[in-house]
């Protein structure tokens, strides 16, 4: 298969669109997309662009490349949708309308579905680690790569594709990061009166919300976010400048 860079991005965007259709992305779905990325010889940057494309307004999967590629793309879309267990009500219309664009009959589609299910069953001895996406044995209790617990189902480990910035209070958002304060930041965010996480682009984002009178509590999280680029603050759903909201903490120091 020799696809252009643009075609590889479009191919992968179709998979991302299916994975996000049911409102969350599970570790097994992410692993299935990464496997397809390697198989078609696409770089990580292509996957990042595919993520952005699939999340753009009004995105609809389109066929790319010759017929064999379109069939392969359809098979991969079905693999991704079945990766978290079932072809659910949200994923089905995406797959069906794509199959229609490929131009295959319903019988051919059923045949492909059966083939993909059979292939997945033989691969059922493995699953994706929810923490690091390593391929691990289904029997394992802990991930041999990162040591994380595997005592959680793929469905339960799925992360939402969006959250809503609340209309009142101070909402802090930040993306996963290798910065030293990140682990503490996640812990504090999860202790906030209101909190959520979601996948934007290829990164997991965290949101923590405090009522305005608890700005000092919010400021404790700010300490851990020092030097992080991917962070935002919202006051009553209005994006605000970091220094304007938290400038006072420098004074009190």
What is the binding site for Zn ion (CB under 5 A)? 129, 131-132, 134, 143, 145-146, 148
What is the pairing mode between strands 238-240 and 231-235? antiparallel
Residue whose CB is less far from Zn ion, 52 or 134: 134
Q: How far is the CB of 148 from Zn ion (least distance, A)?
A: 5
Burial of 244 per CB tally in 10 Å (0-12, 13-18, 19+):
exposed
Residue whose CB is less far from Zn ion, 33 or 50: 33
Encoded tokens for 245? 């909201």
Closest CA to 36 of 57, 55, 64: 64
Residue whose CB is less far from Zn ion, 86 or 132: 132
Q: How far is the CB of 197 from Zn ion (least distance, A)?
A: 18
Burial of 148 per CB tally in 10 Å (0-12, 13-18, 19+):
middle
Q: How far is the CB of 151 from Zn ion (least distance, A)?
A: 13
Residue whose CB is less far from Zn ion, 137 or 167: 137
- Measured between alpha carbons, how far is 90 from 23 in angstroms, rounded to an integer? 8
DSSP per-residue letters across 54-70: HTSTT------SSHHHH
Residue whose CB is less far from Zn ion, 53 or 159: 159
Q: How far is the CB of 131 from Zn ion (least distance, A)?
A: 4
Q: How far is the CB of 31 from Zn ion (least distance, A)?
A: 11
Q: How far is the CB of 111 from Zn ion (least distance, A)?
A: 35
DSSP per-residue letters across 122-184: HTTTEEE-TTT--EEETT-SB-TTT--B--S-TTTT-EES-----SSSEEEEEE---STTHHH
Residue whose CB is less far from Zn ion, 33 or 128: 128
* Residue bearing tokens 């990164």: 203
């Amino acid at each position: 298969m020799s696809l252009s860079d643009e075609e590889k991005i479009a191919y992968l965007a179709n998979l991302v669109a299916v994975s996000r259709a049911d409102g969350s992305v599970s570790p097994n779905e992410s692993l299935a997309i990464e496997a397809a990325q390697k198989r078609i010889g696409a770089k990580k940057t292509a996957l990042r662009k595919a993520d952005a494309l699939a999340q753009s307004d009004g995105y609809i999967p389109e066929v790319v490349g010759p017929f064999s590629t379109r069939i392969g793309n359809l098979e991969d879309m079905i693999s991704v949708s079945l990766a978290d267990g079932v072809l659910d009500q949200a994923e089905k219309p995406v797959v069906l309308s794509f199959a229609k664009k490929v131009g295959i009959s319903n019988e051919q589609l059923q045949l492909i579905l059966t083939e993909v299910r059979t292939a997945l069953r033989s691969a059922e001895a493995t699953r994706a680690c929810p923490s690091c996406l390593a391929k691990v044995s289904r029997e394992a209790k802990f991930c041999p790569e990162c040591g994380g617990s595997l005592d959680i189902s793929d469905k339960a480990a799925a992360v939402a594709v969006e959250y809503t910035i609340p209309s009142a209070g101070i909402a802090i958002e930040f993306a996963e990061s290798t910065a030293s304060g990140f682990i503490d930041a996640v812990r504090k965010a999860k202790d906030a009166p209101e909190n959520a996480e979601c996948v934007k682009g290829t990164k997991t984002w965290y949101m923590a919300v405090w009522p305005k009178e608890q700005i000092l509590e919010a400021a404790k999280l700010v300490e851990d976010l020092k030097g992080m680029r991917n962070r935002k603050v919202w006051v009553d759903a209005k994006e605000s400048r970091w220094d304007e909201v938290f400038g006072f903490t420098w004074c009190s120091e």
